[in-house]
Amino acid sequence: MTVTRFAPSPTGNLHIGNIRTAILSWMCARSRGGQFVLRIDDTDRERSEERFVESIRADLGWLGLTPDAAVRQSERTGLYERRFEELRAAGRVYPAYETTQELDLKRKVQLGRGLPPIYDRAALTLTDADRAKFAAEGVQPHWRFKLDPGAIEWDDLIRGHQHFDAATMSDPVIRRADGSWLYMLPSVIDDIDLAITHVVRGEDHVSNTALQIQMFAALGASVPLFAHAALLTGAEGKLSKRLGSLGAEHFREEGIEPQAIVSLLARIGTSDPVEPFADPAPLIAAFDFARFGRAPARFDEGELAQLNARIVHQLDYDAVTDRLPAGIDRAGWEAIRPNLTTIADAADWWHVVEGPIDATVDAEDRDFLAAAHRIAGEIDWSSDPWHALTAALKDATGRKGKPLFLPLRRALTGRDHGPDMAALLPLIGRARALERLSA
């Protein structure tokens, strides 16, 4: 069974980049009838906050990305210790004692000599006496994973065949001197324990994947399939700091529907057109990593706003009733819905229905509107008052087209444009219509 995971760190709110990762991971699982796991990567005890854990869960719920299971790394340290000891016994991890300043100096020297700035494995030359001396001085080691020499290769679901040479890479630090874990090893241990089959993440993790593939092998586990999605860019060619920090709360405040975010982020960077899907089922059915390209995926808030309006136009009354102003029934929603860009705009259009409105009409239209007032008092309002009114006015005044319809719309709504008057006039009603035409 396909099992994917989304693994945010609760050191801040979700932003548009990792929201996209969550969507792609969720769709990968759903398209294959699999499971989607939420893994909270809270091993950084100083920066992780419970309020961010709650906001991550709330944002996923708002987006409709319900996980089938959830785990927290802070509750799995015993597992990490056991697997770490296995690697230690096998000689695949080793202690190192260099300070940050010493490592920086080594890198500068290597760069000055035209050499790649990779760790020189000096810690492997230390004797037992050397390590005992550090211990006596109270110096605790950090721990590195020892890479095997040779090629590291895999077939990425998006990027195709990938090739790295372990000789060009530093043995990664997996544990700090204070005993806390860095991202690399616990992530692999979790993927093995949770039977993760597909890992979806940004292309900035490609080199991490090369390192982690050796960790899977060292732990005697099969390697999951990897899909590294191209990074998002903004309209200016790169993802600005502002845009990169935008999260679900911002989009909720802007009146963006979660279906619009899912529709956009599921398709940008693919060969498929971006379309508004109020129901994600068609997106899931068509999901295929083969449709993703390696070029940066362009995220445009303007495109999202347009997509949002098209989503709103699809929403049924029952899906929005709790967010509408009091008094709007199904007929009212269906009348004003085609003119909305966000659901919050419904309040503005409902004010047009209930009034009072401020209408300005041209002097040459006053006699015409007086005739409209008279005829509006005589027609049958029980079926289709708009067409009854305009047909009678056309016969009485000889007006047609814009000279017929625009003065009526202005007098009845105070606007030059808006919802279909055939749907709107019954909502305004006879009494209000006569009052507005008289005014």
- CA atoms 266, 296, 226, 6: torsion sign: negative
The reported pTM is 0.90
pLDDT at 44: 86
Q: Where are the domains of the chain?
A: 3-72+182-232, 79-175, 241-312, 326-439
State what percent of residues in the chain have pLDDT above 70. Answer: 98
Q: Which residues contact 302 (CB under 8 A, 6 or more apart)?
A: 235
Query: What number does CATH give the domain 326-439?
Result: 1.10.10
CATH 1.10.1160.10 at 241-312, yes or no: yes
pLDDT at 316 over 90: yes
What phi, psi does 304 have (nearest 5°)?
Answer: -65, -40
pLDDT at 240: 60
Mean pLDDT score across all residues of the chain: 95
Q: Which residues contact 319 (CB under 8 A, 6 or more apart)?
A: none
Architecture of the domain defined by 3-72+182-232: 3-Layer(aba) Sandwich (3.40)
Please tell me which residue, 236 or 335, carries the higher pLDDT value: 335
pLDDT at 45: 84
State what percent of residues in the chain have pLDDT above 90. Answer: 91
Question: Which band of pLDDT confidence, cut at 50, 70 and 90, is reported for residue 4?
Answer: very high
- What does the pLDDT look like over 56-73, one tens digit per residue? 999 999 999 999 999 999
- What does the pLDDT look like over 263-298, one tens digit per residue? 999 999 999 999 999 999 999 999 999 999 999 889
Ligand-binding site membership of 241 (annotated):
yes
CATH superfamily assigned to domain 79-175: Glutamyl-tRNA Synthetase; Domain 3 (3.90.800.10)
Average pLDDT over every residue of 111-138:
94
- What does the pLDDT look like over 203-252, one tens digit per residue? 999 999 999 999 999 999 999 999 999 999 887 666 666 666 788 999 99
Question: Which band of pLDDT confidence, cut at 50, 70 and 90, is reported for residue 5?
Answer: very high
Provide the β-strand partners of residue 277.
none
